[in-house]
Structure 1
């Protein structure tokens, strides 16, 4: 199982963030775009793909595996509900790498049957950005998940701040993911540098 490009993983809702954060040193970024008409969605994906290539970013597209195949994005992230409809044979034949979200043991067991490139666990702490059916998992659950997944990369997400990120890494996460820590900060580029320092120490 190959590792991940970086120990932190911003999740962004617009291609311009790939340009800004990539220029600042982020090398692993997920584009999560919701509720756009398909032409606008594709335009965002193409722009993000081009910015990612410019800055040496590994771009991950959330949900839209067909568009990833068609637009030359090589990494996708799938939620549990996506597994109900995604054509995993087409995904594998297309050479897509993929990560899968998990929130409980049953979801982890299901995710592992697909041999993903990483599994994500969340929310580790309470988060206001996304209404979750599951409560905070906590750092101890990260330790348990790491024992269960072994060498497979583990991503922690949900309520993670710069100060909390090292706690997740110490508990066994290979990578920490955040949204508002970057996109809602007064100095996103400065945050990238701070997260680099905190996660590579």
Structure 2
């Protein structure tokens, strides 16, 4: 399986409507602190928008809703993976991405036969408080050697200036959140990411 090298992560279908039509081909809907009805509506809207724009949608965490709404890709963190019914996810034909931060988590994730492995944070990040220090490019190389041929997603503190180093270290896809959503020109920054990742497609 091949992932697009530009992996956008947003917290609402409104962001998907705003940015995906610019040429985004891979997006994760990562919604926190919302009721079931609201989540379902967000997933439905995101799914419609992504289908319209030939973009792969990945649902973060809410695997039951993803199954019910006919989505085909889910991302789970380590805690969520322990609570999820992976056999049910697979039986529904859903592909699976998993987060990792250390060697033990990588072993746990690989045992689940995922469709991609994410590693982070590569650089310092403001997205959330992390108990892990920045992983750095050498860890990207190590992880790639251990997970290949499974695609490796790098996340955390990435920006267009850091992308060449991340890809040269072995990452197949670079995930971004705040470098775009907190930018004063999210559309312009998205276009910059698309252009910068084009050689890696």
TM-score in same-fold range (> 0.5):
yes
> 1:133 maps to what in 2?
131
> 1:8 maps to what in 2?
6
Which of 50, 60, 75 does residue 77 from structure 1 map onto? Answer: 75
Tell me how far apart the structure 2 counterparts of residues 116 and 124 of structure 1 sit (CA, whole Å): 20
> 1:55 maps to what in 2?
53
> 1:94 maps to what in 2?
92
Which of 17, 29, 32 does residue 31 from structure 1 map onto? Answer: 29
Q: How many residues align?
A: 199
- The Cα of 1:151 is off from its aligned counterpart by 0.9
- The Cα of 1:187 is off from its aligned counterpart by 2.1
- The Cα of 1:192 is off from its aligned counterpart by 2.1
- 1:62-86 superposed Cα distances (whole Å, 9 cap, x missing partner): 0000000001111110000011110
- The Cα of 1:189 is off from its aligned counterpart by 2.0
SS of the residue 2:83 aligns to: coil
Please, which runs of 5 or more residues in structure 1 have no aligned partner?
A: none
| C-alpha contact 1:19 1:55 (8 A) present in aligned 2 | no
Which of 162, 165, 179 does residue 164 from structure 1 map onto? Answer: 162
Q: TM-score, normalised by structure 2?
A: 0.96
| C-alpha contact 1:10 1:29 (8 A) present in aligned 2 | yes
Which of 93, 107, 118 does residue 109 from structure 1 map onto? Answer: 107
Q: Where in structure 1 do 4 or more consecutive aligned residues deviate above 6 Å? A: none
Please, which runs of 5 or more residues in structure 2 have no aligned partner?
A: none
- The Cα of 1:196 is off from its aligned counterpart by 1.6
Tell me how far apart the structure 1 counterparts of residues 197 and 54 of structure 2 sit (CA, whole Å): 19
SS of the residue 2:65 aligns to: helix
> 2:62 maps to what in 1?
64
